[in-house]
Amino acid sequence: MIYSNACEYAIRGMAYLARQPADRLHLLNDIAAYEDLPYHFMGKIFQTLVRAGLLRSVKGPRGGFELARPPEQITLYQIKEAIDGTEDLYRCAVGLEHCNDQMPCPLHETFKPLRLQINHCLESTTLADLAKAVQKKHLSPSTPKKTRAIA
């Protein structure tokens, strides 16, 4: 895929937060359990997202995590940038060091429009968009009951 497992987990965890009321903090344990994600790994991922300014964390007995900005202002591109970086989105498809429009590799013309589409999708898809799609899927009658819980 275009991102790592860590990035997928970050997207899933942040989409969970985007579906929750914005006026309260959420425990990492609850997020990891609901999304069936590894707790300790999620702790590291969420701290990276806090350092990137995408999440806010509060320590202590009433602590937890929340989105640092409204979900309409956080894109999948920003999450990928924080977790995986975005260099791979611009690299040559066959790994050549100097591949561009003036010195194209054999796959340059094939991959250039695909790369542009992927970047556009990541830059234009917000957490709010993703949260709506996930919520709709959870409410779908064709979704198995185990995964239909509303969160």
- Asked if pLDDT for residue 151 goes beyond 70, the answer is no
As a whole number of angstroms, the distance between CA 29 and CA 127 comes to 21
CB 107 within 8 A of CB 94: yes
Q: Mean pLDDT over residues 41-64, rounded?
A: 95
As a whole number of angstroms, the distance between CA 22 and CA 72 comes to 12
pLDDT score for 148: 44
pLDDT score for 21: 86
* pTM of the full structure: 0.85
- Asked if pLDDT for residue 62 goes beyond 90, the answer is no
For residue 78, what are its two tokens?
């920003």
- Asked if pLDDT for residue 1 goes beyond 90, the answer is no
Domains in the chain: ranges and CATH: 5-147 (1.10.10.10)
pLDDT score for 16: 96
Please give the share of the chain, as a percent, with pLDDT higher than 70.
Answer: 91
**Over the stretch 98-111, which tens digit does the pLDDT of each residue have?**
888 999 999 999 99
pLDDT score for 17: 96
pLDDT score for 47: 97
